[in-house]
């Protein structure tokens, strides 16, 4: 006899004092519920309920056993909870790839949120571009990555797709730093700063193509992995950085009218993972990362991912 299952039925009937309501609460039909109660009574050698067509009441032995049954079910729930934590603890750590331009406050929020919700897991973040993340995920040296799209994700499952509008970071004294949103054509002929193409070639090329479609044909493209390097170029008046909003002394961030320039981001992990415990850990990270990116990085959900294969080619060829 499944004693725990039968005790769950007993407690439900005892609390509802109605077989129909108890069956509905348990998500089962009434006849099998009645049969379970009868088998439990036979096993214990006791009558637990006085029942008639009009009412159901606990017998004296039923009232005596009810608290014990509740306590036992609580202990069983605790055992299941501890087992789940032990399974997650067996994973030990989740190896995560994150883009270099995610930003310190976003990274800190992600780590803090993960610690709060997954105290039995250790997060091992690595600063790593999309192209290298794809290789590491395929080789099994990374469990989950935060990718920039488009990328070749045919062998990966993806979390929710998010979009992050980019604006222009300008020297505070420049003419374009005053007023409302800019049009890309307002920056035509200026030199711009972007993340390195080798980090996320698909996103890099897509962004430059969007610039050209909207009238921004840059005089030169500087690549900066470190945000401070990009800031230095902007402060020096050398270039305009296309970034998410930044607040720094000496510079002004201006949005682009209509949000034509945006980065698409999602979590990704290998398809067909065989370890269900690691699978759950990755799901938890993805849920937390998606929430943090929306709340702290200004990203908004897209309805669906755009599938596109990325072909490697030199940046100079793209700009020619």
Confidence tier at 203 by pLDDT (50, 70, 90): very high
In angstroms, how far is CA 297 from the centroid of its own chain? 13
**Average pLDDT, integer, range 278-299:** 92
Element (H, E) at 24: helix 19-26
pLDDT on residue 118: 87
At the second CATH level, the architecture of 92-144+266-305 is: 3-Layer(aba) Sandwich (3.40)
At the second CATH level, the architecture of 3-87 is: Orthogonal Bundle (1.10)
Q: How many CB atoms lie within 10 A of CB 217?
A: 14
Q: What value does the mean pLDDT of the chain take?
A: 88
Confidence tier at 78 by pLDDT (50, 70, 90): confident
**Average pLDDT, integer, range 167-191:** 91
Nearest to 269 by CA among 283, 287, 257, 290: 283
Which fold is adopted by the domain 167-260? D-Maltodextrin-Binding Protein; domain 2 (3.40.190)
pLDDT per residue over 230-254, tens digit each? 999 999 999 999 998 888 899 999 9
Q: What are the strands, taking DSSP E only, across 207-301?
A: 221-223, 240-243, 251-254, 262-270, 300-301
φ and ψ of 90, to 5 deg:
-65, -25
223: left (phi over 0), alpha (psi -120 to 50) or beta: beta
pLDDT on residue 87: 66
The ranges assigned to domains in the chain are 3-87, 92-144+266-305, 167-260
C-alpha torsion angle, residues 66, 71, 75, 77 (rounded to 10): 60
Provide the whole-model pTM.
0.66
Confidence tier at 305 by pLDDT (50, 70, 90): very low
pLDDT on residue 81: 67
220: left (phi over 0), alpha (psi -120 to 50) or beta: beta
> If DSSP codes are grouped into helix, strand and coil, which group holds residue 93?
strand
In our burial notation (b when 16+ CB lie closer than 10 A, e otherwise), range 281-314 reads bbebbbebbbebbeebbebeebeebeeeebeeee
- Return the half-sphere exposure (C-beta side, CA atoms, 13 A cut-off) of residue 279: 9
C-alpha torsion angle, residues 131, 134, 140, 146 (rounded to 10): 100
Element (H, E) at 230: helix 227-235
Q: Do domains 92-144+266-305 and 167-260 have the same CATH topology?
A: yes
pLDDT on residue 310: 39
pLDDT per residue over 43-70, tens digit each? 999 899 998 878 899 999 999 999 999 9
């Amino acid at each position: 006899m499944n004693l725990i299952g039968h005790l769950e039925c007993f407690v439900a009937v005892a609390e509802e004092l109605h077989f129909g309501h108890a069956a509905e609460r348990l998500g089962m039909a009434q006849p099998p519920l009645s049969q379970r109660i009868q088998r439990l009574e036979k096993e214990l050698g006791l009558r637990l309920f006085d029942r008639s067509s009009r009412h159901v009441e606990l017998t004296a032995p039923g009232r005596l056993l009810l608290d014990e049954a509740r306590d036992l079910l609580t202990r069983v729930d605790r055992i299941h909870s501890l087992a789940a934590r032990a399974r997650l603890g067996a994973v030990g750590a989740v190896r995560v790839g994150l883009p270099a331009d995610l930003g310190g406050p976003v990274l800190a929020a992600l780590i803090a949120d993960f610690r709060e919700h997954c105290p039995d897991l250790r997060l091992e973040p690595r600063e790593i571009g999309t192209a290298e993340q794809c290789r590491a995920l395929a080789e099994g040296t990374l469990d989950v990555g935060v990718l920039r799209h488009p990328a070749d994700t045919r062998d990966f499952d993806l979390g929710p797709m998010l979009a992050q509008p980019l604006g222009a970071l300008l020297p505070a004294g420049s003419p374009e730093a005053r007023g409302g949103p800019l049009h890309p054509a307002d920056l035509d002929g200026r030199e711009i700063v972007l993340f390195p193409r080798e980090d996320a070639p698909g996103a890099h090329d897509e962004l430059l193509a969007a610039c050209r479609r909207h009238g921004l044909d840059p005089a030169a493209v500087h690549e900066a992995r470190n945000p401070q390097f990009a800031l230095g170029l902007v402060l020096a008046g050398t270039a305009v950085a296309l970034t998410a909003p930044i607040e720094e002394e000496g510079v002004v961030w201006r949005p682009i009218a209509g949000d034509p320039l945006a980065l698409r981001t999602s979590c990704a992990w290998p398809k067909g993972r065989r370890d269900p415990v690691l699978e759950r850990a990755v799901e938890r990270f993805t849920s937390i990362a998606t929430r943090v990116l929306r709340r702290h990085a200004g990203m908004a959900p897209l309805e669906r991912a755009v599938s596109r294969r990325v072909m490697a080619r030199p940046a100079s060829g793209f700009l020619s």
